Amino acid sequence: MDTAKHDGEPRGGDVIVNGLRLHYLDWGGDGPPILFLHATGFLGRIYAPILRELRRAGHVFSYDQRGHGESELPRRPIDGWHTTADDLEGFIDAMGWKAVRGIGHSAGATAFGAVGSRRPELIAGVVMAEPVILDLTTPPARRPTELRERTLKRKRTFDSVEAMFENFRSKPPCDTWRTEILRDYCEFGTYETHHGNRSLRCSPEIEARVYETSRDFDGLGLMLACPAPMLVLFGEKSDSPGILLAERVGREAARARVEVIPETSHFMPMEQPELVARKALEFFAAG
């Protein structure tokens, strides 16, 4: 691989997984593959500061989940989190890989734990930034319902990329993000409509469907059963349920190391991309 050709923009490609076209980005780098999977509602392109750093440890790829970014919109409603994990497994198989080093954010991190538990030969090790995990033995929390309702009310069309940036830059959760990451989200996370304005690539309906099916998937149980080495990063200020289970993950997962990162939230990769990249590089080097 000629990494010099990857100093700027990543190369795009497509692969058919479970009957759907998924768009991926090849970020370059030498060595065994490192695969990144984004959080619900986003796309791989906006994690560029992390992915470019990871080229020091291997050949880096990301892909957009179905209905996200430039990947195909599913013709039927997304069948919950099982679909996300099935697509991750299918993507690795379609690329012809084994023993992939993974890094994921939020639901993307949860999917790596699921795939590693059922197909251990596919995952050599994984960095999980803020995995979404729930204790399904407890009564249903209000948060998935609240997230669904809030997401369906989200503004989805903006006059321009700059108008979207100005709308989000002072509002939680984006007010803590690095400026360049928010700008990339506003540019690459939208497309130009025939009216000349910008619309979200991932519709609120797709995102809300993921939230409402969160309790149909035992991400915690699968993560605890994953035999691969795991570095699990939680944000000290996170409002995601995962941080409440941090001690349990560290205690019960066979090969997990858990760290709570000060002054970060669920959006840690957008707030401290250099730190996340450094943690991942150290983890991969040790493995």
30-66 per-position pLDDT tens digit: 999 999 999 999 999 999 999 999 999 999 999 999 9
Would you say 280 and 54 are in contact if contact means Cβ atoms under 8 Å apart?
yes
pLDDT-derived band at 126, boundaries 50, 70, 90: very high
Would you say 131 and 223 are in contact if contact means Cβ atoms under 8 Å apart?
yes
Terminal alpha carbon distance of the chain: 23
Could you tell me whether strands 198-200 and 230-235 are parallel, antiparallel, or unpaired per DSSP bridges? unpaired
Mean pLDDT of the region 165-177 = 96
pLDDT at 77 over 90: no
pLDDT of residue 112: 98
Q: What type of residue is 86?
A: D
Fold exhibited by the domain 3-139+217-286: Rossmann fold (3.40.50)
Give pairs for 9-16: CB < 8 Å, separation 24+: 10/45, 10/48, 10/51, 10/62, 12/70, 15/63, 15/91, 15/94, 15/95, 16/94
Residue 216 or 184, more confident: 184
- Distance separating alpha carbons of residues 40 and 202, to the nearest angstrom: 9
pLDDT at 143 over 80: no
pLDDT-derived band at 10, boundaries 50, 70, 90: very high
pLDDT of residue 151: 84
